[in-house]
Amino acid sequence: MAEANNASQRLQDRRPLSPHLQIYKMMFTMVMSGLHRITGMCLYAGVLLLAWYFIAAASGRHAFETVNWVYSSFLGRLVLFGFTWSLFHHWMGGIRHAIWDAGYMFDAKGRELAAQATLVGSIALTVIFWVLAYAYR
């Protein structure tokens, strides 16, 4: 039994360690990859908000007024603003991945530029969307 434990220990000593977060230096593209996943999850919650809006509209005046009251509150607008940013960010991340799938921007400079464009583009599109939404009310 002791021999089996020694052989097992020797095998574990020879195995290479798999890379982990203590080895990797955090990079902007890693953060953007994580944000792409997080915004994808936020879109699920946003679709529930959209469904609630449509169901309330179909249910009658009182239900629709309740949803409008919630969505027009400060917290409601903040959530809707975050949902809008999530939508644009995830969309821009999808475009970035489509560019990579086509075989472009794989070098270090291209990856960094694509990640920066995703963040700047999503913020710009969100602000433009909300400015236009308030301008044409």
Residue 13 in domain: no
Using one digit for the tens of pLDDT, what is the confidence trace for 79-120? 999 999 999 999 999 999 999 999 999 888 999 999 999 999
Name the pTM for this structure. 0.78
| CATH number of the domain to which 70 belongs | 1.20.1300.10
The residue among 124, 51, 46 whose CA lies nearest residue 80 is 46
Note down the domain range covering 121.
31-135
Residue 17 in domain: no
Domain tally, the chain: 1
Residue 123 in domain: yes
Distances in Å between the Cα of 99 and the Cα atoms of 38, 114, 133 are: 21, 9, 30
Residue 21 in domain: no
Residue 15 in domain: no
Residue 7 in domain: no
| Contact in structure between 53 and 71 (CB atoms under 8 Å) | yes
DSSP, residue by residue, 44-88: HHHHHHHHHHHHHHHH-HHHHHHHHHHHHSHHHHHHHHHHHHHHH
